[in-house]
């Protein structure tokens, strides 16, 4: 959640930054109105409380001087009722403001480039040179079916569209990638954790998926429980409503989970193959840091994901997302896009984001900062999406006869 105190202090400055992210001006006007209503409610309560304090002093003087206090007592009692009512109004206005603020995205960093969508993202650099083929490279779904690695029809039979089943070497490659990624990340200082695939509403509110993106989530019927869309949710919320000691930070974690998304906002996109599935596997990086360390840790996470792709000999590029393409909770994001020769384009395979204190404020994750409690910074990133990594391996390591060579880095992980 954005800092409401900052909003009250500099509404115009915060609004200008949020407009860069595409926030509707009418929503900001509503936020301003709710903020002003809360300030008025607080002023009313404080005025009544000041009057109560003054009458209490006057009451003491009357008693001391032996004066009749009945009229004053009536005014004091009437004012107490007004104070109770004003306090309730203030509570309601506070809840209304916070509820509306929960739907407001994070403020983008000042160095995030302006732009409306992915076409305005800025390339940082390319890593590794794409292979030149002496034949026309096939797309991954054709290679997967030819080699018997992935069965899309049986996935539909078991569930619905955008589900698939891995067989034989496809299943082994999937498992090898998960183990390789976890081992690689562990060597980079990220502690491996294993977390539930089902979380409660508070966890999803903490990392920003709720309330805005409920239509994209799979909900357990008759329960306030959801299948996770990413390991970022349970891993970040491990420290929900906790006060950490400075010596614990930074906390750097890596986790493998299955992820579940309805992809409600992606109808008609990537309907073939494994690019956009309802269930997919992913290895995640999550860090919790002091504010002054978050930029350094952010760079480490980007480098870890890039080095992982390099270890797999997969050409890729790093891209800074523009303001209009930033995710809801992100203040800054670098995407890693892998080269897919079958499509002759780069496609996203990892997204590393610094949310600053946006998630920490929602999830109440703090640390002891000298004599006060301060919000930590939280960061997250894919390292990597397993299905998309399989896609990249199939397309980049294909041979003319349709067979696929296994990258050397994965050989120790496959029998």
DSSP string, 109-175: PTTSPP-SSGGG-EEEEEESPPPPPSS-PPPHHHHHHHHTSEEHHHHHHHS-TT--EE-HHHHHHHH
Cα 159 from Cα 369, distance rounded (Å): 50
Euclidean distance between the first and the last CA atom of the chain, given in angstroms as a whole number: 47
- pLDDT for 267: 58
Residue 349 counted as an annotated binding residue:
yes
- pLDDT for 264: 61
- pLDDT for 58: 84
Contact criterion met (CB below 8 Å) for 296 and 309: no
Residue 79 counted as an annotated binding residue:
no
- pLDDT for 124: 98
Q: Which position has the token pair 């991954």?
A: 140
Task: Give the predicted TM-score (pTM) of the model.
Answer: 0.90
Cα–Cα distance list, 390 to 176, 207, 345 (Å): 10, 28, 16
Q: Which of the listed CATH numbers 1.10.10.10, 1.20.1070.10, 3.30.70.360, 1.10.287.40 matches domain 4-101?
A: 1.10.287.40
Residue 232 counted as an annotated binding residue:
yes
- Edge to edge, the sheet with strand 372-375 lists 242-244, 365-369, 372-375
The dihedral of CA 386, 387, 388, 393: what is its sign? Answer: positive
Instruction: Show which residues are catalytic.
Output: 261, 276, 348, 351, 388
Contact criterion met (CB below 8 Å) for 163 and 278: yes
DSSP string, 235-303: HHGGGTTEEE-GGGPSEEEEEEEEEE---GGGTTSS-STTSS-SEEEEEEEEEEE-GGGHHHHHHHHHH
Residue 78 counted as an annotated binding residue:
no
Residue 230 counted as an annotated binding residue:
yes
Residue 350 counted as an annotated binding residue:
yes
- pLDDT for 67: 84
CB atoms within 10 A of CB 131: 14
Domain spans, the chain: 4-101, 118-413
- DSSP-assigned letter for residue 27: H
Contact criterion met (CB below 8 Å) for 48 and 79: yes
Residue 161 counted as an annotated binding residue:
no
Residue 414 counted as an annotated binding residue:
no
Q: Which position has the token pair 């069965």?
A: 151
Residue 175 counted as an annotated binding residue:
no
Q: Which of the listed CATH numbers 3.40.50.1100, 3.30.930.10, 3.40.50.720, 3.40.50.11750 matches domain 118-413?
A: 3.30.930.10
- pLDDT for 266: 57
The Cα diameter of the chain in Å comes to 107
- DSSP run (H or E) holding 385: strand 377-385
- pLDDT for 322: 98
Average pLDDT for runs of 10 along the chain of length 415: 85 92 90 91 94 85 80 88 95 92 94 96 98 96 94 92 93 97 98 98 96 93 96 98 96 97 68 85 98 98 98 98 97 98 96 98 94 95 96 97 97 90
């Amino acid at each position: 959640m954005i800092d409401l105190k900052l909003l009250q202090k500099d509404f115009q400055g915060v609004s200008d930054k949020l407009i860069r992210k595409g926030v509707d001006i009418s929503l900001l006007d509503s936020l301003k109105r709710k903020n002003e209503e809360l300030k008025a409610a607080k002023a009313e309560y404080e005025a009544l409380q000041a009057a109560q304090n003054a009458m209490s002093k006057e009451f003491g003087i009357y008693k001391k001087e032996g004066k009749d206090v009945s009229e004053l007592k009536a005014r004091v009692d009437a004012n107490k009722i007004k104070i109770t009512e004003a306090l309730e109004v203030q509570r309601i206005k506070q809840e209304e403001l916070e509820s509306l603020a929960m739907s407001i995205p994070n403020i983008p960093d000042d160095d995030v480039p302006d732009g409306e969508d992915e076409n305005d993202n800025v390339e940082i650099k390319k890593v590794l040179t794409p292979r030149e083929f002496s034949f026309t490279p096939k797309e991954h779904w054709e290679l997967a079916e030819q080699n018997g690695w992935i069965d899309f029809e049986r996935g539909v039979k078991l569930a619905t569209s955008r589900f698939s089943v891995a067989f034989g070497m496809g299943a082994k490659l999937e498992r090898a990638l998960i183990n390789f990624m976890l081992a690689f990340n562990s060597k980079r200082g990220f502690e491996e954790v294993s977390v539930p695939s089902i979380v409660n509403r508070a966890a999803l509110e903490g990392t920003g998926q709720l309330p805005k993106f409920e239509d994209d989530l799979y909900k357990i019927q008759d329960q306030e429980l959801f299948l996770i869309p990413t390991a970022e949710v349970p891993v970040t919320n491990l420290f929900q409503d906790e006060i950490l000691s400075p010596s614990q930070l930074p906390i750097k974690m890596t986790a493998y989970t299955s992820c579940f998304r309805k992809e409600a906002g992606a109808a008609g996109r990537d309907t073939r193959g494994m690019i956009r599935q309802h269930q997919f596997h992913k290895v995640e990086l999550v860090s919790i840091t002091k504010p002054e360390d978050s930029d350094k840790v952010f760079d480490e996470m980007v480098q870890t994901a890039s080095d992982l792709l390099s270890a797999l000999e997969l050409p890729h590029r790093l891209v800074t997302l523009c303001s209009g393409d930033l995710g809801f909770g992100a203040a800054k994001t670098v995407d890693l896009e892998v080269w897919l020769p079958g499509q002759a384009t780069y496609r996203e395979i990892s997204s590393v984001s610094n949310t600053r204190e946006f998630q920490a404020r929602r999830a109440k994750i703090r640390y002891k900062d000298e004599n006060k409690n301060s919000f930590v910074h939280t960061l997250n990133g894919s390292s990597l999406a397993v299905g998309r990594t399989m896609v990249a391996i199939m397309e980049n390591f294909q041979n003319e006869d349709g067979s696929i060579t296994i990258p050397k880095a994965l050989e120790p992980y496959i029998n």
